[in-house]
Amino acid sequence: MAKIIVITGVSRGLGRAMTEGFIQLGHTVLGCARSMATVENLNQTYGSPHNFTALSVVDEAQVKTWAKRLLAEYGSPDLLINNAGIVNQLAPLWQIPSEDFSELIDINIKGVANVLRHFLPMMISKGSGVIVNLSSGWGRSTSPQVSSYCASKWAIEGMTRSLAQELPKGMAAIPLNPGIIHTDMLEICYGEDAASYTPIKAWAAKAIPFLLQLSPADNGMPLTVPI
């Protein structure tokens, strides 16, 4: 059965891979990204019933308008994936500029909360739907020079598992570690060594069916995509 799937951060990396994979399987994808050019390309490439919007998840007014429009047109999503996120340029905590730290926290934590705030009420009233908030191995462990990213993903773990305790039966909120995948973001952290990790296409081949089988039985479980 075809699902209605909302994904943030669809312009590249995992978000783009999930978008393309879900559409190939016949599901309807409603996505957002900051890049207007990418959004226009996605709309031209896939067209209706899929829908892509240029916005920043940090801007709650934009998120509210987006959610209101999608909920009115498509109804409550079956799967909501908070994927949008950034990583800091490698540096010790005290050398990360406050502006960079704040931007990361705004996108990686507050952006997720903004999306949930405006999609959850209808999902809860319907009593169904799975929420997946992308975490990281660095949401369950730590490494030097990625302190702000670790802070944001540890926050996602806690926020999501707390949310799971607030949802009615029939729903699920899951913090998901996608694994280590060769993306632009990984290149910031690992440089040339990033190329030795799982390619995005190989990841998507495993991740997409995994995401589609998530159910209320998984509520609150910190999961990892099996690679």
DSSP string, 85-128: ---PPS--GGGS-HHHHHHHHIIIIIHHHHHHHHHHHHHHHHT-
Q: Is residue 219 part of a domain?
A: no
| pLDDT average, residue stretch 42-66 | 98
Nearest to 147 by CA among 84, 112, 100: 100
Q: Which residue has the higher pLDDT, 183 or 223?
A: 223
Residue 157 backbone phi and psi in degrees, to 5: -60, -50
Kindly give the pairing relationship between strand 51-54 and strand 223-224: unpaired
Candidates 123, 11, 15; CA nearest to 67 is 123
138 assigned to some structural domain: yes
Determine the Cα–Cα distance for residues 55 and 77; give it in Å rounded to an integer: 19
Q: Is residue 194 part of a domain?
A: yes
- Asked if the structure places residue 31 within a domain, the reply is yes
Residue 226 lies in a domain: no
CB atoms within 10 A of CB 1: 5
Helix, strand, coil percent content, the chain, rounded in steps of 5: 55, 15, 30
93 pLDDT more than 90: yes
Is the pTM for the entire model greater than 0.95? Answer: yes
Tens-place pLDDT, residues 125-142: 999 999 999 999 999 999
The single residue of 74, 149, 190, 197 carrying the catalytic annotation is 149
Specify whether 149 is catalytic. Answer: yes
Give me the numbers of helices (H) and strands (E) for the chain, helices first please: 8, 7
Q: Are 134 and 85 in contact (CB under 8 A)?
A: yes
What's the pLDDT band for 31 if we cut at 50, 70, 90?
A: very high
Can you tell me which residue has the tokens 């959004």? Answer: 39
In a domain, 36, yes or no: yes
* pLDDT at residue number 187: 87
Q: Which CATH number do you get for residue 84?
A: 3.40.50.720
Q: By residue range, what is the domain housing residue 125?
A: 4-213
Asked whether residue 223 is domain-assigned, the answer is no
* Each residue's pLDDT tens digit, 149-193: 999 999 999 999 999 999 999 999 999 999 999 888 878 888 888
CB 186 within 8 A of CB 197: yes
- Count of domains forming the chain: 1
**Which amino acid is located at 149 in the chain?**
Y
